[in-house]
Structure 1
């Protein structure tokens, strides 16, 4: 039995569990719609994505992508500036692709979510009122009309894999949809603001930096309760609460 690979728990919470067994990732999801989106988005995306090995609801088996994650939230990235620029170029390829047939949340839904989550943060004394108020004002900058593009929707730095200066895979497509291009760029650089210039150099188009900052604040405010309730710690160094404290 010495050659049998160990089972690694990659992530586990009430909505989804992801296990790794050797070079296979097994996702078990309570919401089959998320897996439907993930499979279809990977088929449509013009980027390297995990190979679907098999699917038997509620499980999806995916092959590991080569390379290593571009970084981790809360940890310094060891990837080169060229690798970050390559990630920006990959995002541009995705945004230039034909739109998927389904839509992500619009500004009204996002504004409503922002109201609810800011109230929860203040009512439960999770964060100081002035910090929430300041970041809410910054977050509202992101709530403006945008031209929809094919967005990944959850483009955390740990979801982009590189080998040297080349992007080798992008994972976790369950939030993919028509959305705001600047949200993907903000998610990729959340907690890694020092690499924003590299990403934008690869992306190749001028963007509104105030909107990027708005998405950093909006994401951090609206994700906090979910993170806490699912066993994650947004107060860890370099994570969401530090992003909010650094916002100007």
Structure 2
């Protein structure tokens, strides 16, 4: 009998694995709706939807292994990283999905970020100089962008490869129109050494300063949430180290 593995669990959602089936439990049906619709439209390998009975979505496991994980060295080849860049470029070149993006515009992001930075310093979560410096770095990401079909949570653990080929991209609940460079930044967060490989696979010029700005912005925005939900952004190679690397 297959064991039940808790892949991730917090107050918003949980993902369980039973054999080759993943069960995603999410009280927010808009996220499940977006996930199912995005996987149907995305021109890249995605998991097969087996069945859906709200609040549960059952999907099949994709072949291969994750490109890596935050806070640990990736054993994937440079070619595999380049393939991930090529896959996300294919998604960004696809027609926009017919629903609004879940992300926020530059002005709203700036307001939320300033509030988060204030709480990080006031509550003693992070040193003021670290927060202030990274807030300045993050400013480069707060500019207008042309919306693209984005994954929205293109973490390294969401990209599966077999050798040098992408075999599947998972977790599409944040998919929608958004900033293409946010996807590239999310993939390379904590793995700056593979940024050149990803950009080479992406195949077009990108503003590296904006990608680095998104590293700071994303890390500042999630440190407190991660801490409150049982994750450790202070672990080696994770979000706080990403912020320190910008100093």
Bin for the TM-score computed over the shorter chain: over 0.9
Listed one character per residue, the Cα deviations across residues 195-222 of structure 1 (whole Å, up to 9, x for unaligned) are: 0000000001111111011000000000
Please state whether the residue corresponding to 1:172 is helix, strand or coil. coil
Matched, 1:23 2:20: yes
Partner of 2:38: 41
Q: How far apart are residue 134 of structure 1 and its match?
A: 0.2
Q: How far apart are residue 148 of structure 1 and its match?
A: 0.8
Q: Which runs of 5 or more residues in structure 2 are unaligned?
A: none
Q: How far apart are residue 115 of structure 1 and its match?
A: 1.1
Partner of 2:225: 226
Partner of 1:52: 49
CA-atom RMSD in angstroms: 0.7
Please state whether the residue corresponding to 1:19 is helix, strand or coil. strand
Q: Which runs of 5 or more residues in structure 1 are unaligned?
A: none
Listed one character per residue, the Cα deviations across residues 103-144 of structure 1 (whole Å, up to 9, x for unaligned) are: 232112211210111111101101000000000000011000
Q: How far apart are residue 100 of structure 1 and its match?
A: 1.1
The TM-score normalised by the length of structure 1 is 0.97
Q: How far apart are residue 190 of structure 1 and its match?
A: 0.2
Q: How far apart are residue 74 of structure 1 and its match?
A: 0.3
Q: How far apart are residue 157 of structure 1 and its match?
A: 0.4
Separation in 2, partners of 1:109, 1:54: 36
Matched, 1:77 2:74: yes
Q: Stretches of 4+ moved more than 3 A in 1? A: none
Q: How far apart are residue 169 of structure 1 and its match?
A: 0.2
Listed one character per residue, the Cα deviations across residues 131-180 of structure 1 (whole Å, up to 9, x for unaligned) are: 00000000011000111100100000000000000000000001111111
The TM-score normalised by the length of structure 2 is 0.98
Separation in 2, partners of 1:109, 1:233: 27
Matched, 1:236 2:235: yes
Partner of 2:183: 184
Partner of 1:107: 106
The 5-angstrom pairing of residues 82-161 of structure 1 reads: 82-101=79-98, 102-103=100-101, 104-161=103-160
Separation in 2, partners of 1:75, 1:161: 16
Listed one character per residue, the Cα deviations across residues 83-120 of structure 1 (whole Å, up to 9, x for unaligned) are: 00000000100000000122232112211210111111
Separation in 1, partners of 2:181, 2:134: 18
Please state whether the residue corresponding to 1:162 is helix, strand or coil. strand
Q: How far apart are residue 225 of structure 1 and its match?
A: 1.4
Separation in 1, partners of 2:62, 2:107: 36
Partner of 2:197: 198
Separation in 2, partners of 1:30, 1:124: 30
